[in-house]
Amino acid sequence: MTEMVKHNIQLILGGARSGKSALAEQYALSSTLPVTYIATAQALDAEMAQRIAQHQAERPAHWRLIEAPLQLSATIESIIFEASLNKSSGVCILVDCLTLWLSNSLCQSNSSPNSNNKASQDSGNIDYWQQEKQQFLRLLNSLQDLSIEGGNRQAFAIEIILVSNEVGHGIVPMGQLSRQFVDQAGWLHQAIAKVADQVEFVMAGLPLTLKPSQNINQKAAL
């Protein structure tokens, strides 16, 4: 038996301490689906480790946590596949946040023998990031045509909540890598917004709906 999949993609943007993560967690709590939280942060120093521990303590204990600083699309695919095998009604996946995933990708070491190490340090590992980005956008697009084999469920639901920092409202950064990061974040947000069912911008804890949920999905540009 083949089951069509109902999906919902939400993109939540905002600056630092805007309340975007709190809003995303509210949406996840209101979901009737089991929640998997994908954390893209890495505890590279004591201060970041403390931040991560605080966030973990504030989240519901029954949420599943997966740390995925890289290979985001593969991580989401494995979560969906596992949920389908478990005969569940679906899964809610909360990713916090996309800009840390972008930063991790740009800072990924370039081991290619033809790479210019100095150029890679200045502008980041663009090749690796583009590969990650294209895989992720293909995954989001594929949800519209996804079907699940087997089972007796009436429907299989996938809710994906994506949190990301809006970094394009400040001054243009001085460094080349910083400018590359801002550019790539902006292009990523535009591509996701095209395929997302709902897009919201959060400021001072107040959400502003940029794309209502009733909008019809469009294919994201790779």
Contact 95, 162 (CB under 8 A): yes
Between CA 143 and CA 8 the distance in angstroms is 9
DSSP string of 26-59, one letter each residue:
HHHHH-SSPEEEEE-----SHHHHHHHHHHHHHS
Between CA 134 and CA 221 the distance in angstroms is 9
Query: How far is the CA of 214 from the CAs of 34, 65, 148, 197, 198, in angstroms?
Result: 24, 30, 24, 7, 8
Point out the catalytic residue in the list 7, 55, 62, 189.
55
55 is catalytic: yes
- Which positions are annotated as active-site residues? 55
